[in-house]
Amino acid sequence: KDIVKMRLVEDEVNKFVTPIKSHLKVLYEDKYYIAVFKESGILTHSSKYNETPSLEQLVCGYFLPINFIFRPLNRLDKDTSGIVLIAKDEFSASLLNNQIKRDKVKKTYRAIVKGVPIKKHFIIEKPIKRVCDKDGQYAKTECKFIKKLENGLSELEIKLHTGRTHQIRVHLSNIGYPLYADSLYGEKIVGKTFTLIAYKLEFK
């Protein structure tokens, strides 16, 4: 004769995010997830300091008049473009986050770097603490040479085996192939920013 009571708590919408109805490039959508293309130069999350619309505002605007809660499963830096995968509910987010923790989600990037690597395929395994540091966290980056470009630049395909902050930029800079126009880890070029694109995301 036990009595079990269950209270279903509704998700709380972020009151500080103003949805913006604008162009959003949708790459994939089903009942549980939506994958969109984030342009370079915009933030993934909203901030009171951002001068341009964030991806969060654009996604929430896409779902109007529904009060959508933004649950990105991968995050990209402001100047990194490419795929951002977003869960439509808390349960779907939990399922995929579990895959991410078990390294079952594969992320592949394309980058423009200074210099031409000697090897066509190479792996960088160096601990990172904002820079390569023996006391930092283990990090592994796999690189494949795609083609040589003009002005001593190259295009690389990069697979992340770990997800440290600025991992690709730190690792490539450390071995002498910084991202072109990377003002933080390479050379600042007025009017330009680095080219790093999250172009493939694989998951079950």
CA angle 92, 74, 136 (to 5 degrees): 125
Whether 79 is a known active-site residue: answer no
* Token pair listed for 200: 């493939």
CA–CA distance, 33 with 89 (Å, rounded to integer): 8
* Token pair listed for 198: 């999250």
Q: Are 22 and 33 in contact (CB under 8 A)?
A: no
CA–CA distance, 34 with 15 (Å, rounded to integer): 22
Q: Which of 11, 77, 79, 103 is catalytic?
A: 77
Q: Which residues of 179-202 are buried (b: 16+ CB within 10 A; e: fewer)?
A: bbbbeebbeeeeeebbbbbbeebe
Q: Are 99 and 127 in contact (CB under 8 A)?
A: no
What residues are labeled active site? Answer: 77
